[in-house]
Amino acid sequence: MINHSRELKAWSTRRKSTVKELGGVKKTREAVNKGRPRGIIIVAFLMILFGLAEVVTGFTHNFFGITTSQITIFTYSGAAIGAFYIAAGLLILTMQKWAAAFAIVLLGAAIIGRVALVVVGLYPTDSLENTLGIIAGTVIAAIFAIYIGWKWKTFRWVASD
C-alpha cells in the first residue's frame, strides 16, 4: 500500500514555500503599487479618462451638449489632444523622471493645441457652454502639469527592481 499522507505532506510543504517565495497575493499587489503615491494614480486615471473623452468628442463632435466643429482637421486635432492626455497619464505611472518630464511636455502641447483650435476658429465659442468647456479643459490640463511638477521628487531617474 502507498503512503499518501507522506506525499500529501511533501506537496503541502512545497506549496507553502512557493507561496512564500511569491510573496502571496497581498505582497504582489503591494509590489505593483510600490512607489506610486495614491495622488499620482488618481491623476493618471483621470488623465486617461479625460483623454478618452477627448478622443471620442473629436470623432463624435458632441460631449454633454457641447458641440464641436465638424471639420476634418478638428477631428484629428481633438483626437491628438486626447491621445496626448492618455499618453501623459500612462507615462506618469512609470514613476520615472524622464516620463514625467515628457508627460508635462505632452500636457503643454495639449494646452497649446486647445488654444490654437480656438484662435483659428476650429473650436466654436459662440455659446457659454462651449466657452466654459474649453476654459475648464485647458485649466484641468494645466493643473495636471502643475501637479506632476509639484510631485517631481517622487519620480525616479531609473527604474527600480
- H/E stretch holding 109: helix 97-119
Phi, psi (degrees; rounded to nearest 5) at 151: -95, 15
Query: What single-letter DSSP state applies at residue 34?
Result: T
Dist CA 14 CA 97 (whole Å): 41
What does the pLDDT look like over 19-70, one tens digit per residue? 444 554 444 444 555 668 899 999 999 999 999 988 888 777 666 556 666 6
Q: How far apart are alpha carbons 103 and 96 in whole angstroms?
A: 11
pLDDT tens digits, residue range 115-142? 998 898 888 788 888 888 889 989 999 9
CA distances from 124 to 9, 45, 52, 148 (A): 73, 28, 21, 30
The answer, yes or no, to whether residue 87 has pLDDT greater than 90, is yes
